[in-house]
Amino acid sequence: MHRPASYQESLSQQNQMRWIVCGLLFLATTINYMDRSVFSLIEPKLHELPFMGWNPADPAHKVFNDNFGDVLIFFQIAYGVGLLVSGRIIDRLGTKVGYALAIVIWALSSMSHAFVGSVAGFCVARFMLGLGESGNFPAALKATSEWFPQSERALATGIWNSGANVSAIVAPLLIPYVVARYGWHAAFITTGSFGIVWLVLWLLFPYDKLRRGATATQQQLQLPVRNAGLQPERIPLGYILRERGTWAFAVGKFLTDPIWWFYLFWLPKYFHENYGLSLNELYKPLIVVYLSSSVGSIVAGYLPGRFMRSGMTVNRARKLAMLICACCVLPVAAVPYMASHHLGMWPTIALFSLAAAAHQGWSANLMTTPSDVVPSTAVSTVVGVGGAFGAIGGALFTAVVKKNISTHPLVLFLFAACAYVLSLLIIQALVPRLGQPSPEFEADADVLP
């Protein structure tokens, strides 16, 4: 069938613009992770703040570790609570307005850290930062489902999600420089201001005018919704919570997100305490680890599309990529052995690098599963529910880590190694067929409330 020239021109423009959208999502994710990582990167400077409770006479530094851990937990709790709300708000307001609102909140909250003078003040600032930052992934994944076909979503997600790793490379270079020149307060002002710059770019972009229409897969996923007498544009929360894919995603996030929190928040502290690295020396291992994770994010994001082009179904391609990533994480269990036997820092860095790369590759594929099980109009809600479970898991794991990182590291790293395989087994049990509506919805769609 011959298409009008105007249609072909519009399609070509949309194909080009989707990668600009991916670039904007990449920048937002980079800023998001930079804002949340500043507190951990200035951890040695926190020793100079009397209210943080650092005491050189206490070799375990119990008060300081408790205060430091409490501030991190406040962020994670707020992040989890925010995800439950932000995903639903973004589905209602639309991607452009919802994303803009989220970044305004987190940029201002990041700057507010510079004006606190107590542990409680840091807790409040981190809480507000968590609420704002909770909008990033629901909005970014909704944008991906609106702009990219199913075979490209994991790759696009892998690219913009690698912003988290780029942040971990740039931040250890930028933050020590800013702190040394202007003080720790300026670090929060600097990263928070990046969000305001991004907001201007986002508001200028003609998002709704150029985005793609519903794909064939999205139209298929809308069928049980329409058969239930519901509008795909306003899917009730109860309907979404009945979808097994929602809970498969939530379980995956609950079990594996804590591992990334562990690397993000505790890796600088781990190298500082086990290998004596100063703030200015931390960038060496962190750059290697997070550069590796960027590569893993993009490569594993590319794999499902490659598998689909060779004839695999969406279900098999997505899960095979996730299985490869889950297996690559397993060697991280040997990290405590490396430290206890003084085998050197670089073998440990190699294990962390492989695990971080595999995690980000896993995430690139896991985060595309909501668009495989629900229409794009409900993607942010599913991402919010799953992200909330991930944040809860992260808060629980942080509470365990802060008490046991020095005494029971082997148990922590065994969990970090095995969480992905366990998660994939549960996902397979809940959703044997990604990319299709759940059988129970096809069977009883006409009687759904």
Q: For residue 95, give the CATH number of its domain.
A: 1.20.1250.20
What angle (nearest 5°) sits at the alpha carbon of residue 161, between those of residues 95 and 266? 120
Mean per-residue pLDDT over the chain, rounded: 81
Q: Which residue has the higher pLDDT, 123 or 449?
A: 123
Lowest-pLDDT range, 53-67, 155-169, 399-413, 424-438?
53-67
Within a domain: 1: no
pLDDT tens, residue by residue, 95-105: 999 999 999 99
Region 173-202 average pLDDT:
91
- Residue 411: count other Cβ atoms within 10 Å of its Cβ: 12
pLDDT value at 449 more than 90: no
Q: What is the pLDDT confidence band of residue 441, given thresholds at 50, 70 and 90?
A: very low
pTM for this model (two decimals): 0.78
Within a domain: 262: yes
Q: What is the pLDDT confidence band of residue 445, given thresholds at 50, 70 and 90?
A: very low
- Residue 276: count other Cβ atoms within 10 Å of its Cβ: 9
Helices (H), 228-313: 237-242, 244-275, 283-309
In angstroms, rounded to a whole number, what is the distance separating the alpha carbons of residues 44 and 179?
11
Q: What is the pLDDT confidence band of residue 213, given thresholds at 50, 70 and 90?
A: low
Burial 303-335 (b: 16+ CB within 10 A, else e): bbbebbeeeeebbbbbbebbbbbbebbbebbbb
In angstroms, rounded to a whole number, what is the distance separating the alpha carbons of residues 179 and 188?
10
In angstroms, rounded to a whole number, what is the distance separating the alpha carbons of residues 444 and 224?
9
Distances (CA, A) of 281 to 81, 122, 284, 344, 385: 35, 25, 6, 16, 38
Within a domain: 8: no
Q: What is the pLDDT confidence band of residue 224, given thresholds at 50, 70 and 90?
A: low
Please identify which residue in the block is written with the tokens 């704002």: 132
Lowest-pLDDT range, 48-57, 278-287, 302-311?
48-57
Query: Could you tell me the maximum CA-CA distance found in the chain, to the nearest angstrom?
Result: 80
pLDDT of residue 243: 84
Within a domain: 367: yes
Contact assessment for residue 239 and residue 448, using Cβ atoms and an 8 Å cutoff: yes
Class of residue 121 by CB neighbours under 10 A (exposed 0-12, middle 13-18, buried 19+): middle
In angstroms, rounded to a whole number, what is the distance separating the alpha carbons of residues 83 and 298?
25
Within a domain: 363: yes
pLDDT value at 17 more than 50: yes
Region for residue 313 given its phi and psi (left: phi exceeds 0; alpha: psi -120 to 50; beta: otherwise): beta
pLDDT of residue 444: 35
Within a domain: 3: no
Alpha-carbon 301 to chain mean position: 14
pLDDT value at 10 more than 60: no
Region 383-402 average pLDDT:
83
How many independent structural domains does the chain possess?
1
Within a domain: 269: yes
Contact assessment for residue 304 and residue 317, using Cβ atoms and an 8 Å cutoff: yes
Lowest-pLDDT range, 5-14, 145-154, 322-331?
5-14
Between 345-366 and 283-309, two packed helices, what is the crossing angle to 10 degrees?
A: 40
What kind and span of H or E run contains 43?
A: helix 43-46
Q: What is the pLDDT confidence band of residue 136, given thresholds at 50, 70 and 90?
A: very high
Domain around 419: 14-447
Contact assessment for residue 279 and residue 44, using Cβ atoms and an 8 Å cutoff: yes
Within a domain: 342: yes
Region 223-236 average pLDDT:
64
pLDDT of residue 32: 93
Region 423-447 average pLDDT:
66
The SS3 call for residue 313 is coil
Region 275-280 average pLDDT:
71
pLDDT value at 413 more than 90: no
pLDDT of residue 448: 27
pLDDT of residue 55: 64
Q: What is the pLDDT confidence band of residue 220, given thresholds at 50, 70 and 90?
A: low
pLDDT tens, residue by residue, 330-346: 999 888 877 665 667 88
Contact assessment for residue 294 and residue 360, using Cβ atoms and an 8 Å cutoff: yes
Region 412-432 average pLDDT:
92
